[in-house]
Amino acid sequence: MTAAKKTPRQPRLSRAGLSPVHQVRVYDHLGKPREAAVPGESPLTIKVDGHEIVTLMTLGTNPEELALGYLHNQRLVERIEDIESVEVDWARETVNVATRHGQGIKDLEEKLSKVTVTSGCGQGTLFSCTVDKLYEKKMPRVRVRQSTIYQVLKAVASLNPVYRLAGSVHGCCLCQGDRVIMSVEDVGRHNAADAIAGRMWLDGMAGEDKILFTTGRLTSEILIKAAFMGIPVLISKSGVTQMGLELARDMGMVVIGRAKVSRFLVFNGAEQVVFDAIPQSDGALK
């Protein structure tokens, strides 16, 4: 009889998410006053056992998941069992991540010694230890149906409420088949991806049968995050950068960009896409 898989011990979370939008007074093109919504943006400094790691600008709706996903995607903390608690203090603009051993991150100075500022919205970061471990990941070779891509695009079209209300944010969705499991908006798509990674880490969720959708472009940073999340298929309303595409080729990831309604471009992994929904009047993708 196969032994049941033991659920990892969960850290305590503060659940201190902020309201995503704020109402402000504006004047329209006729000079008349009216109310409008703007998305929030707050600095949040991640600390591990009191040691400052990084300050992120965030919408603030999922701060605990954001902190966990950031630490996990940067490969600064490997095991969820090592984390005791995640406590957000907005008055001090900090999120304090306490480990069970209380000794912080091993070799922290060495890991932080080389930082690459990426092209992510609000500026993302990559540490040398992140890139060093990237090629330890082996992505599953999966097939994705054209009809599933269309269904994902239809499913996510009704999401991103903050963007539709106030604009100025990006969104990421975690999908399984044509079903959206989780949707996160933030001021940067890398933050949204990290929040999803944090929730996957907390729930022990595998990524090999998932699709990551993003409203923003697929940069090298987003490709790296998806790889560490184990997600082999990415879909974007925007395009992909050259470095992002090179990484996708190296990792064997399916990259689909310029995806809108019933059109998309496969930048990598076309041989893994099953074209089962080509319109009769349109024999080729444009």
Q: How many domains does the chain have?
A: 2
Residue type, 127: F
Domain assignment present for residue 205? The answer is: yes
Same domain, residue pair 19 and 122: yes
The per-residue pLDDT for 125 is 55
Q: Are residues 161 and 49 part of one domain?
A: no
Contact 54, 45 (CB under 8 A): yes
Predicted pLDDT of residue 60: 94
Question: Are 110 and 67 in the same domain?
Answer: yes
Residues 267 and 253: beta-carbon distance below 8 Å: no
Q: Is residue 4 part of a domain?
A: no
Domain finish residue from 131, 164, 194: 131
Domain end, chosen from 109, 131, 153, is at 131
Question: Which of 103, 131, 159 marks a domain boundary?
Answer: 131
- 187 and 267 both lie in a single domain: yes
CATH code for the domain of 34: 3.10.20.10
Q: Are residues 150 and 223 in the same domain?
A: yes
Same structural domain, 173 and 126 = no
Residue bearing tokens 């300050």: 55
Predicted TM-score (pTM) above 0.85: no
Do 152 and 111 share a domain, yes or no? no
48 and 102 in a common domain: yes
- Are 124 and 149 found together in one domain? no
Q: What is the pLDDT of residues 105-118, one digit of tens each?
A: 887 777 666 554 44
- Compute the C-alpha angle 149/150/153, nearest 5°: 90
CATH of the domain at 267: 3.40.140.10
Between the two ends of the chain, the Cα-to-Cα distance in Å is 53
Q: Which domain holds residue 148?
A: 144-274
Q: Are strands 42-48 and 94-99 parallel, antiparallel or unpaired?
A: parallel
Across the chain, what does the average pLDDT equal? 86
Residue 70 maps to a domain? yes
Q: Can you give the pLDDT at residue 183?
A: 97
pLDDT of residue 284: 47
Sequential DSSP letters for 186-224: ESSHHHHHHHHHHHHHHHT---TT-EEEESS-B-HHHHH
The whole-number pLDDT of residue 117 equals: 44
In a domain, 283, yes or no: no
**Residue 175 covered by a domain:** yes
| Residue ranges for the chain with pLDDT beneath 70 | 1-8, 29, 111-132, 279-286
Q: How far lies 89's CA from each of 56, 92, 170, 173, 194, in Å?
A: 14, 6, 24, 27, 19
Q: What is the pLDDT of residue 285?
A: 43
Whether 281 is in a domain gets the answer no
Q: Which amino acid is at 76?
A: L
Residues 123 and 148 in one domain: no
> Could you give the CA distance from residue 242 to residue 129 in angstroms, rounded to a whole number?
22
Whether 280 is in a domain gets the answer no
Token pair belonging to 78: 């490997």
Secondary structure element (H or E) that encloses residue 73, with its range: helix 63-73
39, part of any domain: yes
Same domain, 81 and 21: yes
- The token pair that represents 82 in the structure block: 């090592």
